[in-house]
Amino acid sequence: MKRILLSLLALALLLPVQGQNALRGKRFTENEQLNHFPQGIVKPSPFVLGFEGQTLRYSVGRDAYAYSLKTGVTTPVEFSFGRSPMSPMQRTGAGPREEMVPGWVNPTWSPDSTKIAFTLDNDLYSIDVKSKHVTRHTWDGSELILNGYASWVYYEEIFGRPSQYRAFWWSPDSKVIAYFRFDNTQVPMFPIYSPKGQHGSLNQTRYPKTGDPNPEVKLGFVSANGGETVWADFDPKEDQYFGTPFWSGDGTKLMVSWMDRAQDNFQLYSVTPATGSKVMVYKEHQDSWIDWMDGMLFSKEGIYIVRDFSGWQQIYFLSYDGKKFEQLTTGENWSVNLLKVDKKHLYFTAKREATTRVDIYRVNLRNKELQRLSYGPYNFAGVQISEDGQYVVAQASNYQTPTQLVLISVPASGNVNPAKHVKVLYDTKGEKFDEYAIAMPELVYVTTRDGLRIPASVTWPVDFDKSKRYPVKVNIYGGPDNPQVREAWRGLSMGNQWWANHGVIQVTLDNRAGGHFGKKGLEEVYRNLGILELDDFCDGIDYFRKMSFVAEDKIGVEGFSFGGTMTALCVTEGNEHFQYGIAGGGVYDWSLYDTHYAERYMDRPQDNPKGYQRTRVVDRVGNYKGDDSNMLRITHGTGDDNVHFQNTLQLITQLQTDHKDFELMIYPDGMHGYRGDQGMHSSMQDYKFWYRYLLNQPLPDILVDYFKKK
């Protein structure tokens, strides 16, 4: 009897929980799904403005509120909309940008607000706000020499696109500007053709693909008042990378991150601006790759950092002189985000209770005691800590629970009791929420062929009937440390309700490199991107294909960028598991992608030729049929400066050589993601594809009208 009960329990765990029955409640009409859901189901999400003394300020839509921490009373307050931090032109009353310095780029205030640094034609300048006197700091800027303006690979992979190419930093005392000088002379030029106009044009980007020379980089310091550049003591001829620098606590040293080309050796230097001399204060080696040091917290004595060389992410204190290095946390932490440090505690968020959701913690700086400040099976986002550390505000939710704005009163013991210490300030769940049949994801776990349990999510049709067979639409990404299965409220939208109301099961899959297994899980794909990830996706969908109500020959998958890469692999090499797919903006040969990203995981082609050969999508499409039983749709923007259109051209060349049918949609001048009319066209064509291959139906007129009106 015990064995029978255990077998029944195991069987129950394999079956969908909510999906065994149709949902109760009113059904949304198609017009409601496309345009406006009924009022009273879900309210607008709150936005935390922050703590101000004993007041917490937040907004909901166009309404603002002040919550008194003393009285517990919420009061509506006036709120100025459309206001953003003042630009240099607004702060000086200079009027239009052209009236101050025509064509300037990245104007950035000095900390004392007396000067503005900027670049112009790839040279670095500053202007005195009061006198309007302009000081030119560099003189050799050109198409190949960039002073204070990042080379493309730094902009994309190291500084990030929000940097807008800025590569200079004011000292805290406003006396010195640190900047990088990039020499692109040896970096190959990649032409991107635009069809606009009678003759078209070329966007010529210095883009280093794997194995190519990177830009030579020098770090310089100039006085805000002018003078010669002092160069830091680094050899620009060395094959290396520099991270985003930051100033020490006293503002006298610039802390500079350095990596070798292989990205398996990391060093942090303290550089003296007056002389350019450097002292190494931290050193790290890993056999695979190392991530940059970012998201630090600063104190007068040193910095609090997150490192993963132990296999999981831990928090450390590092003094500015490198003499003290102290570990503060232990255990299986991932996605650690440092929030605040005071005299007693360091506050942070991390995936620790589960790899699919974020919780809030604090660690005692003296005895290293770790305390969880959050509660329940919820994901906590938008977390802020009050100045005295006695209050935490956050947005709490999960797949089944709409977002709540919660205030957590932190007791001295740190032991948070939700009944005593948590107050819901605002709940987005409306009074009519339970009246409707709302399709919501469920968390499940799938087991790979080698025994790993990987989280996935599934949304069942609202009129689920286990006697029927349903097609499945899968969403994937697949890139290292970029999970898609996140237990947070997904909102109420056409995107998550339409398919559930039209008989399609929706699934999201991750793989072993998604961060659910720490650094060791990531390292399993090292030098072989797309091999084990494909196996994991195939094993993941097979969990569902074994269910009697799943149409195992109607499995669709879609993804963009790395997700486009994996989608193409799923529908070609993995076509026994996935029959149909839409691959957008994918890398189909890692030798066609940039040095910093691709070599981090694959090494250089010169050092890993077999790995590059094994992982080439264009060489793995032999199983693909290219007929009504197995169809791949490929999309790409010709203006994509990140994943070049070249990737798609080489893939379709191979498919044409193999005499295989496929669908192709090109977006002229489209970037890495389609916007405006192209975005709406792409969405409509995607729906048309899925209707044809998953539902065997034409696109309904109501959808055609919807997309055309948009």
- The three-state secondary structure class of 520 is helix
Alpha-carbon gap, residue 138 to 153, rounded angstroms:
22
* Terminal alpha carbon distance of the chain: 61
pLDDT at residue 71 in the model: 96
Residue 80 has a pLDDT of 56
| Dist. CA 516–CA 498, nearest whole Å | 30
Please tell me the CATH code under which domain 18-40+434-709 is placed: 3.40.50.1820
Asked if residues 356 and 514 have their Cβ atoms less than 8 Å apart, the reply is no
In the prediction, which pLDDT does 196 show? 96
- Per-block mean pLDDT, blocks of 10 residues, the chain (710 long): 38 46 93 95 96 96 95 88 44 48 95 96 96 97 98 98 97 98 98 97 97 98 97 97 95 97 98 98 98 94 97 97 97 98 97 98 98 98 97 98 98 94 98 97 98 98 96 98 98 95 98 98 98 98 98 98 98 98 98 98 98 97 98 98 98 98 98 96 98 98 91
The partner residues of 397 in beta bridges, in order of sequence, read 379
Kind plus residue range of the DSSP H or E element containing 563: helix 562-571
User: Distance between CA 240 and CA 261 in Å, rounded?
Assistant: 5
C-alpha gyration radius of the chain? 27
Residue ranges per domain, the chain? 18-40+434-709
User: Which bin fits 231, alpha (ψ -120 to 50), beta or left (φ > 0)?
Assistant: beta
SS (H, E, C) 439-488: CCCEEEEEECCCCCEEEEEEECCCCCCCCCCEEEEEECCCCCCCCCCCCC
Q: What value, to the nearest 5°, has the Cα angle with vertex 579 and ends 573 and 580?
A: 105
What sign does the CA torsion over 4, 10, 14, 16 have?
positive
Identify the DSSP state of 155: I
pTM for the whole thing? 0.94
Q: Is the dihedral of CA 195, 196, 197, 202 positive or negative?
A: negative
Q: What per-residue confidence (pLDDT) applies to 2?
A: 38
- Residue pair 516/510 in contact (Cβ under 8 Å)? The answer is yes
Give the number of other Cβ atoms within 10 Å of residue 6's Cβ: 10
Confidence at residue 709, expressed as pLDDT on a 0 to 100 scale? 84
